[in-house]
A and B are shown apart, each in its own frame.
Chain A
Amino acid sequence: MSWIPPLLVAIPLLSAAVTAGLDHVTPEPVQDALVVAASVATTAFAFVLLWHAENHEVVHWFGGWQPHRGIALGIDFAVGPLAAGMCAVIGLVVTLALLYSLTFLREAARLFDALMLVALGAMCGFAMSGDLFNLFVWLELMAVAAYALTGFQVERLGPVQGAVNFAITNSLGGYLFAVGIALLYARTGALNLAQIGRTLSHGPAGGLVIVAMTLLLCGFLVKGAVVPFHLWAADAYAVAPAPVCAVLGGVMTDIGLIGVARLYWTVFAVPFGHGHAVGDVLLWLGIVTAVLAGTMAFLQRHLKRMLAYSVVCHIGIMLAGVGLLDSSGLAGAELMFLAHALLTAGLFFVAGILHSDHGLIDELHLRGLGRGSWAPAMAWFAGTIGLVGTPYVGIYLGHGFIDDGATELGRSWVLPLLWLGSALAGAALLRAGARIFLGWGDAEDELLGKAIEEDPLERDVLRPLLVGVALAAVLIGVAISVAPGLGQGARYAADRFRDTGGYAARVLHDRAMAPSTSLPVSVSHTSLESLLYGGGFTLVALGLALMGLFSSRLPRALFVAAERTLAPPIRVLHALHSGVVGDYVTWVVVGTAVTGGVWALLLHG
């Protein structure tokens, strides 16, 4: 079955070329059908691949350049259950986004479709690739497609600014990554990840490897929008069309995390796996990201900007899961990715529906306008509850697994911080939902800053299709926590993913794997602690949402005191997210230098 992996890249890329190339000669319905069919076929093959990857890595050596005595010359796609699962979710989200855009974006539809398919192929290639430079190629390919898609609405300045900030920070991240590749190549003379890892097992790691790791991982963290590399994300996601946001926020941001995990467990676990320094830095970055982005989400009134910060917040939680460096944490990150991708996509779809119904995207402007839109309201609230992590809904199972991992490592203090992050982001979304769909709350809110300029768009949409797609995304996402067998499967996938030596043996020597025992197919249970945290922080989210809605009804003294203590830090937060690309670039450099410095201190000696 080793012929499947290249198809996940070849089908979307070829379809993109056909779509764009035959723009003027093929009737529109045929084109639409082709685009959706390509995306569905890619998704279907990803599921087949998932099934085949169960018992051994599906490895494909391009051009038939098999490794010779453990020396890899060619480029390989090595697909375990985790990578295959990623591809399946990526395919699913892109398919939903393409269906959504059938009527949502008619203008320049062919260019849009082609770029979406290119992004799909690039993301799948990235998830599967086992070659360091090949990762860079897919990273740049998806980035180039995403920059253009972000600036889609060229008639307004916001999208252009968002795309500029996105393009410049991510390109810089990519170039730092390229320097990291050159350093690692100089040290090991290899580009295959398994082989680099094996070469690094000889001799001391030294400063070069630490610096190379810093540059490579920070390159991915820019893509993954982790604090302080996250500043571009809100600008870009606030302005891209809703289906693009669904893909960027739902799956493309998470790609950075797949990259971090892949590089760590194939390469850097070899020299640094005995200690916990690498993981601790990732853990801390994750915690800070979760709490800071959760707070920022709560301070937004622009729905898509709010969702963007919610994405960043969940990225933080997932990064913390990866940073625990054990199977529970990684499995938790996987499960959270599954739920978060679909729920986030669903919420962006709902935001798009509101925008096309009312021409508004501001929470306060939309107050009460969503009354009577039952289906979008249901999708919004279900998605929101799923993103808070209410027990056995949406991201809960992932949260629970990360809790287990942290507790096993004796770091239970991590738990409340991560739950706080998702509760803050969830509270913001709940508040917005209550205001829009129920008409609750005040019409003004000092906390949320000045009104945004609205951008009404004339759209002739097929509303039932949009609503159907949004509901489908949310329903699948909500069900992730109670899908039988998924938890066990994720843990098994994480075990396989973390098996550095086994991966190298299977990729470089085609070594067979011991047949796995069949996994129980039942709903995974979580610890009592997670249950309590999940329940408790759902209440916290509800309370915060209510406080946001009715802040003016708080006792006067309390209100003044709260404002006096909270206003200055909030001003600082707003000022840091300045929208100016020079600042963002500066923070990328600061983040890289500090991360590298910390690793230098912890790992050297």
Chain B
Amino acid sequence: MSRRIRIAVLGPALLGLGALFAWAIAGLPAFGDYRGPYGYVLNRVVVPLRHTTNVVMGTTFDVRGVDTMGEEFILYAAVLGVMLLLRDETRSRQAERRTRRLPSDAVRLVGGLMVGGGVLVGLWLMAFGYITPGGGFQGGVLFAGGILLLYLVGSHRDYRPFRIVHALDPLESLGAGGYVIIGLAALASGTAFLTDLLGLGTAGTLRSGGSIPLLNWASAIAVSCAMLILFAEFLETYVVPLEPEDAGS
């Protein structure tokens, strides 16, 4: 189809879809009136039953923990996929030794502070996610971003150290696989997959929520490594366009 025909077909179809949406919306409870049982019950039972004050994280890592296992593997598979798809590009560019201009001291100072901030906040989000907002995913992305920034503002001249991230591969697998192992451990002990095996602890402290902290850390490791590998795959060979005359400076 030419673009014009495509748009001519798409227009009415979108109107139709919009009409369907409008019809569905008319059947929804008015904004703010929602009283469904699922969330209502969870808001009342998760804290007493699992001693996690953050019900969302309790839901993510316990009540609907297997969804999160799938989610970890979605990210994991995507990273494997990106490695697979970019393997040619990576290979062809690996041979070239690439150097880059170092950032100025001011940039490095500001950047360094941001790195510290990013990494610290990331770790904090990972650690306290099941008590207050945060969690493995958010912390992991932030942590990975911080580390990446460390690299960008750091004094590495050579791009090749990025290959080191491939040492992250086993670590990422450990995070994703660890989630499954925690689930299987429960199964082996005669309870359901992903059932809590540790004590519940006191609500509001780090030793609360049974297996939730373990799962949270497994996913934090998996996400941090996954994001680092993802960034590295995309950035490895192309951080800043390199002018030949800069190479020696």
Q: Which residues of A contact B (CB under 8 A)?
A: 2-3, 6-7, 10, 13-14, 16-18, 20-23, 60-65, 71, 73-75, 108, 111-112, 114-115, 118, 121-122, 125, 133-134, 137-138, 140-141, 144-145, 147-149, 151-152, 154-155, 163, 183, 185-191, 206-212, 214, 575-576, 578, 580, 582-583, 586, 589-590, 592-594, 596-597, 600
Contact = CB atoms under 8 A, between A and B. Distances in A.
A115 B20 contact: no
8 contacts: A13-B180, A60-B192, A62-B194, A63-B194, A148-B78, A148-B80, A163-B85, A589-B17
Given A112-B84, A134-B70, A141-B77, A64 B16 contact: no
B180 A211 contact: no
Contact of A189 (B3, B35, B86): B35
Interface in B78-100: 78, 80-88
B74 interface: yes
Nearest to B174: A21
Interface stretch (B58-66, B110-118, B154-162, B201-209): B58-66
A210 B20 CA distance: 9
A63 B192 contact: yes
Interface of A is mostly: helix
Contacts of B147: none
A133 B65 CA distance: 12
B80 A114 contact: yes
Given A108-B84, A154-B88, A207-B26, A10 B193 contact: yes
Given A16-B76, A21-B172, A582-B6, 4 more contacts: A17-B176, A186-B29, A208-B26, A214-B20
A125 B24 CA distance: 30
Contacts of B71: 137
Contact of B73 (A7, A141, A212): A141
B9 interface: yes
Contact of B38 (A3, A63, A190, A594): A190
Contact of B170 (A21, A133, A144, A152): A21
A593 B17 contact: yes
B13 A145 contact: no
B67 A65 contact: no
Nearest to A208: B27
B173 interface: yes
Interface residues of B, number: 70
A65 B194 CA distance: 10
B192 A208 contact: no
B81 A73 contact: no
A6 B187 contact: yes
B36 interface: yes
B86 to A, nearest CB: 8
Interface of B: 1, 3, 6, 9-10, 12-17, 20-21, 23-24, 26-29, 34-42, 45, 62-67, 69-71, 73-74, 76-78, 80-88, 169-170, 172-174, 176-177, 180-181, 183-184, 187, 191-196
A189 B173 CA distance: 36
Contacts of A183: 24, 28
Nearest to A14: B180
A586 B181 contact: no
Contacts of B181: 14
B77 A186 contact: no
A453 B193 CA distance: 50
Contacts of B172: 21
Contact of B187 (A3, A149, A210): A3
A211 B80 contact: no
A199 to B, nearest CB: 9
Contact of B180 (A10, A578, A600): A10
Given A63-B65, A73-B38, A137-B74, A148 B17 contact: no
Nearest to A20: B173
A74 B64 contact: yes
A206 B28 CA distance: 10
Residue among A61, A152, A186, A188 with the most chain B CB within 10 A?
A186
A596 to B, nearest CB: 5
A583 B45 CA distance: 49
Nearest to B170: A21
Given A3-B187, A64-B195, A188-B36, A586 B87 contact: no
B36 A189 contact: yes
B71 to A, nearest CB: 6
Contacts of A211: 20-21, 23-24
A589 to B, nearest CB: 4
Given A115-B84, A183-B28, A593 B20 contact: yes
B27 A207 contact: yes
B39 to A, nearest CB: 7
Contacts of A583: 1, 6
Contacts of B20: 211, 214, 592-593, 596-597, 600
Contacts of A3: 187, 193
Contacts of A594: 13, 16
A66 to B, nearest CB: 9
Contact of A22 (B28, B37, B65, B170): B170
Contacts of B62: 63
A147 B67 contact: no
Contacts of A125: 70
A580 B1 contact: yes
A207 B13 contact: no
A62 B66 contact: yes
Contact of B1 (A16, A187, A586, A600): A586
A187 B24 CA distance: 10
Contacts of B183: 6, 10
Nearest to A5: B193
B81 A134 contact: no
A212 B24 contact: yes
A593 B63 contact: no
User: Nearest 3 pairs between A and B by C-beta?
Assistant: A189-B36, A21-B173, A148-B81
B66 A75 contact: yes
Given A118-B73, A141-B74, A211-B24, A586 B6 contact: yes
A233 B180 CA distance: 32
B184 A21 contact: no
Contact of B63 (A63, A114, A214, A597): A63
A232 to B, nearest CB: 15
A29 B180 CA distance: 24
Contacts of B9: 586, 590
B195 A63 contact: yes
B36 A145 contact: no
Contacts of B87: 108, 111, 154
B178 to A, nearest CB: 8
A245 B1 CA distance: 27
Contact of B184 (A10, A187, A214): A10
A208 B24 contact: yes
B80 A20 contact: yes
B85 A586 contact: no
Contacts of B173: 17-18, 20-22
Contacts of B36: 185-186, 188-190
